Amino acid sequence: MELPVTDPARSSPSTPSRSAVAPQGAARLTPSLAAQLRHTARCVLAVEQGRSLSDVMPQVNAELRPGVQALTFHVLRHLGTARALVGKLVQRKPEPAVMALLSSAVALLLDGPSAVAADGMPVTQPVGPHYEPHTVVNQAVDAARQDRSTQRQAAFVNACLRRFLRERKALLHSVAQLPVARWNHPVWWIERLQRDHPEHWAAILEANNQPGPMTLRVNRRKTTRARYQQALQAVGVASTPVGSDGLVLDVPQPVERLPGFAQGHVSVQDAAAQMAAMLLLNGRAWAPTDRVLDACAAPGGKTAHLLERADLDLLALDVDERRCERVHDNLQRLGLQAEVRCADAARPAKWWDGRAFDAILLDAPCTASGIVRRHPDVRWLRRASDVDPLVAIQHTLLEALWPLLKPGGRLVYCTCSVFRAEGAHQVSAFLERHTDAVSRPSAGHLLPGLAAPLGEFNDNPPGEYDGFYYARIDKVQP
């Protein structure tokens, strides 16, 4: 499962101007921090009310959007700490719009070493925009005055933020024992990780609060990785190979600066997501007549990677018609062809023609708990009660698709989740139910914050990955 809003720290180096106001007489004014903070607070409030940034961010004015997105991502990575601190600054909880603005401003004031760690361990602060403290206070007050929902509380906002500057150290110490403030994740999420990954949970949470690197996938039908790395060097962009087709950029770049992007030479895709095609295709020769199903294909990154590596008779399904259009667009840019159909993979009677598949890729709907560093809103949108229904959907998809696989065929099951219920536990239960299913060496759980995969899929060199789970399951011959 891939989410469309991209981290500005990964896909674009643009961040808000450090100056509050553009120089007088400039031909094009830089949006003020006050204007960006006002819209950032609105985005944060929308997330707190259950709306995804994928829906909210496109509504922000295009001129403001890069700065607002950078600020919003930064705030969401600090939101647990910021909320707790605001709770100490007020006698009673303010109106939601005021709370969102205060939390956003406090998050910006947390730049630099944090004193939140109650255990004495250092806390790695998320990378983000930097402003002078008094600039943040003044611009937050201006933001309050500019918005009808907060303008009557501008003096209150000013008093709270100035008190935070005066009492910063004591206030940070006062929230240090709160897990949400320490880790910037909901308590249920922290507790689940502690159960699922008792040795690595802290590293996962720390990694989630950092932007992920920008990783490219080179289209081997258009160029080679070595040649493309040289093309990057020619425009001053350094990179490091990862996996079979990937390049991790030392510094994120806007896609417009990537050589040959419009011509389909390269795509943006995390190293963990690039493992899907390699795991599905490795170990046998493929022919154009081999039938492959990408069961939950949108936005098409894994579909495209399969076709870049092999000539296949590929059917890409997705239940969302608009997301199917994105699959079409991505394939067109890359010069690839597949049958793309809007259909529910869990209901084969509605779309399957009765011809069995040689291979199936099931990138199942999940909590997205493994890609939080790129989508920091996910942690605040998910609820503990979301996990079991998603596990049930994954179960249904596995049971619906398994009969469509030829004997001797292979199915790759993956989720962008670090929760074992959506990974190892799901696959173990499937193998127990199906005597004709056998597990093959796979990546297992990839965990952000760890230097290398923990599983058995050793063809991939060590590297930094988003959180994913991979299992390859073969159907034995009768």
Q: Which residues are catalytic?
A: 416
Which residues, at least 6 apart from 49, have a Cβ–Cβ distance to it below 8 Å? 96
Pair of tokens at residue 143: 């933001």
Pair of tokens at residue 478: 């009768």
Is residue 341 helix, strand or coil?
Answer: strand
Is residue 154 helix, strand or coil?
Answer: helix
Give CA–CA dist 66/60, Å, rounded. 9
Give CA–CA dist 368/379, Å, rounded. 9
Give CA–CA dist 423/413, Å, rounded. 9
Judged on CB neighbours under 10 Å (0-12, 13-18, 19+), 28 is exposed
Pair of tokens at residue 60: 């922000």
Pair of tokens at residue 44: 């944060």
Give CA–CA dist 212/375, Å, rounded. 10
- Residue 50 backbone dihedrals phi, psi, to 5 degrees: 100, 10
Q: Are 38 and 148 in contact (CB under 8 A)?
A: no
Q: DSSP label at 233?
A: H
